[in-house]
Amino acid sequence: MLEKFLTLLPELTVALGQTLTMLGIGLASALVLGGPLGILLFLVADGQSLQNRPAALILGWFVNTVRSFPFIILLVALVPFTRFIAGTSIGPLAAAVPLSLAAIPYFARLVEQNLRDVPRGVIEAAHAMGASELQIVLRVLLVEARAGLVLALTVLAISFLSYSAVAGVVGGGGIGDLAIRYGYYRFETDVMVITVLVLIALVQAIQFTGTRIARHIDQR
């Protein structure tokens, strides 16, 4: 097994880099677009300061619709859009497009759920002191929910690590592609075992890091 690992190391290093590229782009998209979308979902919900039922229905419909697609179907359905955005439908950058589109509503819903856990009294106190909506979001909601948001991002990262492996099935590259090409098509079981162990190590590292950061910033 060790000899096979050393032989596979150059390709495994490239595959790992491709996986981290896909994951990084997806998580960045989730933070930049999914985060604000989740905040907006919370603010326009019933009983909140910017309550707007039509907006809540439209945003909720969009989020639920995208999340209802199995990722492999979304991956294939978005091929024309992916080719338009990335200029190609294969490779890690191309796979990052559907990953990002799937990550945005996924993270948005996680953000909304975490903001709902912020005590209502804290928000009302901020309103009573004359804080603007932006100040409440930045200085109250995000501060109070920061530990939960870190854990939500951790859950997202682990979930989309597996999605990035699925992307390898259709030419997205990464560890999933390596596992399929060697472990499945060539019946090299040891390669499959190595890729699984690498994925397990990545999951453990992400979970450990996310949990430690969440504990560190949790001031409750």
* Owning domain of residue 73: 2-217
* pTM, rounded to two decimals: 0.89
Is pLDDT above 60 for 220?
no
Q: State the pLDDT confidence band at 24, using cuts at 50, 70 and 90.
A: very high
pLDDT tens by residue, 146-200: 999 999 999 999 998 888 878 776 666 788 778 777 776 777 778 788 888 888 9
Question: Where residue 104 sits, what CATH number does that domain have?
Answer: 1.10.3720.10
Percentage with pLDDT > 70 across the chain: 93
pLDDT tens by residue, 91-129: 888 888 889 999 999 999 999 999 998 888 888 888 888
The tally of domains found in the chain comes to 1
pLDDT for 35: 94
Contacts of 185 (CB under 8 A, 6+ apart): none
pLDDT for 9: 75
Angle at 10 between CA 186 and CA 191, to 5 degrees: 30
Q: CA–CA separation, 46 vs 29, rounded Å?
A: 27
